[in-house]
Amino acid sequence: MPIDRCVQCGGTELARKVEIENWQVAGRTFAVDLPGTSCTGCGEFYVHGNDMKRAEDAIAIELAREGPASGEALRYMRKTIGMPAVELATLLDISPETLSRWENSRRQPDHAAWLAVGSLVLDHAAGRDDTLRRLRAAHKPRRGRSRVHVAA
């Protein structure tokens, strides 16, 4: 919902604006173009929640593509796709404590697990769930389907 009054000074003169914000994640600086609304009186800047989410997603995508493969990056990516730590730990077949040690940089994340989380992020961005379905299937295989017909 667009704002019609500045909550800082009460001004009603608002203008659309794009500001570049620098975000630090996993030892990298991301310069993010954030569209928003600025009060012409006091300069207070407001960002709509959807625009903030798009910026967070863009950072997670960049981390998934380029790294670093660190616990902080893993935690950022997991939170960006909205996956609870317990669910991710279950899907990766590790304990929640192990995931916590990775995310809090007490241990280096497992390389394959970090790649899986990156794939979850890239799938999420593309509106797919391939990696999530594969992780779920690997964790809890279906029984009773010894013969499966596929088209070649």
Delimit the domains of the chain by residue range. Answer: 49-139
Which pLDDT tens digit goes with each residue over 70-108? 999 999 999 999 999 999 999 999 999 999 999 999 999
Question: What whole-number distance in Å separates Cα of residue 70 and Cα of residue 4?
Answer: 42
Handedness of CA 61, 62, 67, 73 (dihedral sign): negative
Q: Output the pLDDT for position 146.
A: 76
| Model pTM score | 0.86
Question: What whole-number distance in Å separates Cα of residue 85 and Cα of residue 72?
Answer: 13
Could you tell me which residue, 10 or 142, shows the higher pLDDT?
10
Q: Output the pLDDT for position 147.
A: 83
Which pLDDT tens digit goes with each residue over 35-60? 999 999 999 999 999 999 999 999 99
Residue-wise over 47-76: b if at least 16 C-beta within 10 A, else e? beeebeeebbeebbbebbeeeebbbbbbbb
Q: Output the pLDDT for position 41.
A: 96
Task: Select 49-139's CATH number: 1.10.3470, 3.40.50, 1.10.3110, 1.10.260.
Answer: 1.10.260
Question: What whole-number distance in Å separates Cα of residue 60 and Cα of residue 25?
Answer: 9
Question: What whole-number distance in Å separates Cα of residue 152 and Cα of residue 149?
Answer: 10
Whether 144 shows a pLDDT value over 70: the answer reads: no
